[in-house]
Structure 1
Amino acid sequence: MHETGEDFMAANQTAFATFINITDVENAVPEAATESSKDSNDRECEGKTDEPVDCTDPEIFHLLMKAAIEKFKDIHFYRFGKPVRGNDDSSCHMAWRFRPMEGKTAAFYKDYRSFVVSRSENCTLSVVRIGDYHSGGNARKRKRNQKGFEKPMAQAPKQTIVLPEVGESVNDTLPVVESEGSFSRGKYLLYTNGGDRCKNMNHYLWSFMCALGEAQYLNRTLVMDLSICLNKIYTSSGLDEEGKDFRFYFDFEHLKESASVLDQGQFWEDWKKWYQKDGLTLHLVEDFKITPMKLVGVKDALIMRKFGSVEPDNYWFRVCEGETESVVQRPWHLVWKSRRLMDIVSSISSRLNWDYDSVHIERGEKARNKELWPNLDADTSPEALLSTLQDKIEDGRNLYIATNEPDTAFFDPLKDKYATHFLDEYKDLWNETSEWYEDTMKLNNGNPVEFDGYMRNAVDTEVFLRAKKQIETFNDLTKDCKDGVNTCTASS
């Protein structure tokens, strides 16, 4: 899995936040109100058992909070939203902010559920059913569309910790420049050409982060190409595929709110409109050895780094090597994984009630290569797994298996001891009826988007990390080294 900004945050970075427990809710109900409602219930209840539930009633609010805390015992609640009317007279929708109690995560999650509330003959209210994850859509906060390009041209990294919030609606529309004046006053940096295109995602991120770091160092807006070429290792066709949107894989809303970026297509439209009229000039750089430090004094509106055709001297990340490495920092905190993908992760974890263990089983080419991984195939066989896991995971537990083994029936013997789960069990979260499918089609000009190998790997890995116990292939299941014979290190 390819690391992004969230992976550099420790899970305990939210330890400062105070969570809500059952006694907080019980103590929040005023005693006088509770007593008076008991006295009046018997007198006023007759004939009112079928009246609509008033979701704005504080008593309902406390009832729903208590029901949620009692039902979802494996998460910490940090904030509840006020209930709103649900789909009918006996339904309320309520949202909350939470974190799982365990797992290697540093994020807040949003859920909103439907609650069916019943009123008994003496008017006592009770919750009789809580819906599935994100079933309470009326309580979902809708974000307004962003207008304008109003932020300073670049921003220094913030010192406060900003954590991803998974579960809210995503606003990753492209930022636009409000006026000719604001465009012409701007300073821009653009990288073009080079050999980075269609490389694996690790390579792409390493180069993109270099460009973003230089833009921040020079206090310029990064002009970026949101169209990615996806390397063939992630595609079902086995070929490199152009035209993949950056927003399929990464959180563009967080990036545009935290840094100064513009889409390349939008930028060139504005440039053509105003560069002659306003005398905008371009400073061309064709040698990666010209460091960012030498470009600090450039007054031109646009610095364009143009890369050649000879690899590896045409890789963008070469700009950040040598003496630049200690000056320009890659701003990892600005790039997070797509919250649409992370919402699939949250949905899967929720269906497992955030109460599961996981094992990562890497096989594939490595298991077949006995020269570099002599033990891996045998160590990840079902028989070996049962033996290894018996002291690590209790019988009967939900066990999520993150694996590159295409035939999950291979792991059927594990069903005798565990309730096993695999990614493809949750295809409804990205199929034609899913919210993910609908949202990505909108980004893709109305064309369907494949749930590709990179997305699969991202979701598989993130579900693995949210488990209470995580068993890794290397170190935990086999003594083979992750990168082959004699490559083991203390951290691998």
Structure 2
Amino acid sequence: MAIHKTQKLKQKPRSPILILIASISCIAILYIASSFISTKGLFFFTNPTTLNNIKSKKIFNNQESYYHKYLYWGNRVDCPGKHCDTCAGLGHQESSLRCALEEAMFLQRTFVMPSTMCLNPIHNNKGILHKTSNSSLEERPKASSCAMDSLYDLEFISNTVPVILDNSKMWHQVLATSMKLGSRGVAHVQGVSRVDLKEKDSYSSILLINRTASPLAWFAECKDRNNRSSIMLPYSFLPSMATKKLRAAADKVKALLGDYDAIHVRRGDILKTRKDRFGVERSLHPHIDRDTRPEFILCRIAKWVPRGRTLFIASNERKEGFFSPLAKRYKLAYSSNYSRIIDPVIENNYQLFMLERLILMGAKTYIKTYKEEDNDLSLTDDPKKNTKVWQIPVYTMDTKEC
């Protein structure tokens, strides 16, 4: 069988205009590629999965540099005292976490968040106001920690401050890349102001800043807030960032409560007293025991909450029936009234408190124990901040009987 050769066609000369367009396109592609592999660009261009993860995240104020650099404060929120065998309560740890997130915002860096939250054993015992209907839940051994993403919606937080967990693939990629970059990869800093971290080239160009935070508590880094140029997050930020299942459960409870008011009554741990050298009892919060008793609460909130309203109460008070006197004026409600909704989604008292906070924040009138912001309504005028001044407790009423 004969094989016929295909006759070659003579190529026509290419148009100069087409050649010019092709050249410009090639230059543009090379420029874009170089920006991705730059030490100031996306370090994971060779990893399609990482690149897709980055693209899927929302960028705060279109600051793409958030995804170029990282800030690490350690593998656990807070380490109070000289040893790390314990931790503070949720509110205390949130103050520290908020401090670290503020610094990440200020530096325009992605924050590397600890993958677990330490559970303080004292604060992880359910209060008497929430008696679970599931006895096995009460008998379950208390865990020493819980997953951070079981408390907070990290994607929700990342809309404001981009975060990754310290057990994620992306974090391991950051560590691997930092080692390859040598001196430009990681800077271990201690006692350096956030302004210097942002403005000095020796820090600002580094991929990863490893801040050695205060050995006592992270929030110590934010104590002098008035004299630091930083972006502040409100107290309500982290409470509003609860996981979707906690927010969904809170929404169901709020729907059943209807039009309601709420109070948060912190007692228990805050009522600590000690005797001076003369045997006299003293407290760091001299009015708190009085101000959180039912008879004083009735007087305090009368001007804010009309008679007959539904009043949701969240408290760590363990004495059963302690708030019953309030029932003579209000319809009282507790989280225990909604156990069928709440119990399936909570595994520890931190989650319960976070869910209760969402309910408190949804009230028409929300009265806190302490003022946290200037416009807050509070049960007491004592400052929340520890003044370290031990005073004699006051129990007498300084207002007329209601």
What's 1:358 paired with? 262
Aligned to 2:159: 257
Distance 1:155 1:222 in 2: 13
Which residue of structure 2 aligns with residue 164 of structure 1? none
Native 8 Å contact 2:77 2:97 kept in 1:
no
Q: Counterparts in 2 of 1:328-343, with a 5 A limit?
A: 328-331=230-233, 335=238, 336-338=240-242, 339-343=244-248
Give the whole-Å Cα distance in 1 for the aligned partners of 2:70 and 2:211: 14
Contact 1:286/1:305, CA 8 A, preserved across alignment: yes
Q: Which has the higher contact order (CA 8 A, sep 6+)?
A: 2
Q: CA deviation at 1:487?
A: 11
The alignment partner of 2:253 has SS state of helix
* Counterpart for residue 468 of structure 1: 364
Q: How does 1:71-470 map to 2 (within 5 A)?
A: 148-150=53-55, 155-156=60-61, 186-192=68-74, 196-197=78-79, 198-236=87-125, 242-265=144-167, 266-271=169-174, 281-289=184-192, 291-293=196-198, 295-298=200-203, 302-307=207-212, 311-312=215-216, 315-317=217-219, 326-331=228-233, 335=238, 336-338=240-242, 339-353=244-258, 355-365=259-269, 369=273, 371-372=282-283, 377=289, 381-382=293-294, 393-432=305-344, 436=345, 450-452=347-349, 454-470=350-366
* Structure 1 segments unaligned to the other structure (5+ residues): 1-145, 159-181, 438-449
Where 1:288 maps in the other structure, the secondary structure is coil
Summarize the Cα distance change of 1:279–1:382 in structure 2 as closer, same or farther, 3 Å threshold: closer
Asked if structure 1 preserves the Cα contact closer than 8 Å seen for 2:78 and 2:218, the reply is yes
Identity of aligned residues (%): 23
Tell me if the contact between 2:178 and 2:208 (Cα under 8 Å) persists in the aligned partners: no
Deviation string 1:374-433 (CA, Å, 9 cap, x unpaired) is 66556655555566667765554322223222234233344454322112111222323x
| 8 Å contact from structure 1 (residues 194, 306) kept in 2 | no
Q: Is the 8 A contact 1:190 1:223 kept in 2?
A: yes
Give 5+ residue unaligned stretches, structure 2.
Answer: 1-50, 80-86, 128-140, 274-280, 372-376, 385-389, 395-402
Q: CA deviation at 1:296?
A: 3.9
Indicate how the Cα distance of structure 1 residues 295 and 330 shifts in structure 2: closer, same or farther if over 3 A, else same: farther
| Separation (CA, whole Å) in 1 of partners of 2:233 and 2:381 | 34
C-alpha deviation, 1:255, in angstroms: 1.9
Alpha-carbon contact 1:215-1:222 (below 8 Å) kept: yes
Report the AA paired with residue 305 of structure 1. N
The TM-score normalised by the length of structure 2 is 0.56
| Alpha-carbon offset, residue 246 of structure 1 | 2.1
C-alpha distance after superposition, 1:187-229 (max 9, x if no partner): 3332336882433444433443443344344443333322222
Which of these two proteins has the greater Rg computed from alpha carbons? Answer: 2
The amino acid that maps onto 1:337 is M
After superposition, the Cα gap between the structure-2 partners of 1:246 and 1:455, relative to the gap in structure 1 and judged at 3 Å, is same
In structure 2, what is the Cα distance between the partners aligned to 1:245 and 1:366? 27
1:52-67 correspondence to structure 2 within 5 Å: none
Checking the alignment, whether the CA contact within 8 Å between 2:177 and 2:185 is kept in structure 1 is no
For the aligned residues, what is the CA RMSD?
4.8
Number of the residue aligned with 1:179: none
Q: C-alpha separation between the residues in 2 aligned to 1:352 and 1:232?
A: 31
Alignment size in residue pairs: 299
Q: Deviations over 1:85-137 (max 9, x none)?
A: xxxxxxxxxxxxxxxxxxxxxxxxxxxxxxxxxxxxxxxxxxxxxxxxxxxxx
Secondary structure at the residue paired with 1:231?
coil
Work out the CA distance in 2 between the residues paired with 1:427 and 1:292.
48
Amino acid at match of 1:451: N
| Matched residue, 1:445 | none
* Cα shift at 1:351: 0.6
Structure-2 separation of matches of 1:376 and 1:321? 24
1:173-196 deviation line (CA, Å, top 9, x unaligned): xxxxxxxxx99x933332336882
